[in-house]
Structure 1
Amino acid sequence: MALVSLGTLTYIKSVLKKLRGREGLRSQILKMPMVEAAGKLSYPDAIKIEMFSHAYTGLTPWHDQVFFYLCMESPTLWQPVFGFEYADNGALEQAMKQSYLAKIEQRRRGIG
């Protein structure tokens, strides 16, 4: 395994309205509070931090073995979830690339 991507669902308003109006759909996920996020609706940052932190902590044995990242989430969530952040997308991409290349090299050597 090379990476673990964490993210939440994001809804456009029309889809959310259709889902909520659908008979027989019994999803607790749609009962969570939603806030505006880049023109869509998503969960408040406090809930995201709690969910992502719980998942990340639960995967502590893997922290040094795979690359963890937040997919399509605000950069402001990195520090509270992972305890670090990247200066910009370029730095994130570089770290991800280095992690992939290291994983490929481990595999080539039969280590991982």
Structure 2
Amino acid sequence: MRFIARFHHADTLAQMQSRLRRKGVPTHAMQIEGQRLGEQWVLFVYLDEQVEDALRLLRDPEHVPALSVDVSAFESMRPVDDGRLFAKWVTIVGAVVVLGFVALALLLRLLR
């Protein structure tokens, strides 16, 4: 995944994502600044082979990319981060920390 642009307006970002999607270039956008500092988004292209075409498409909507993919199929194959892995990790770490404190408390009690 490679960075291709930064946007200060959500509408412009949506237009560019739509343009790239129609031309077969899957993208990922993410907000990097909130309203306090002025909203900003960054746009990435998933496939390194499409970076040059994506940059040209941002300037020229008529450009035809050398490599075009079925964006819907591409997106359906990508794993969805639904937070379960993170939740599982936090639960395990939390349990280990609690058990560590319990073991430490028992050890201190035995040493008295």
TM-score by length of 2: 0.23
Which structure's relative contact order is higher, taking Cα pairs within 8 Å and 6+ residues apart? 1
Greater C-alpha radius of gyration = 2
Please state which structure has a larger fraction of its residues in strand: 2
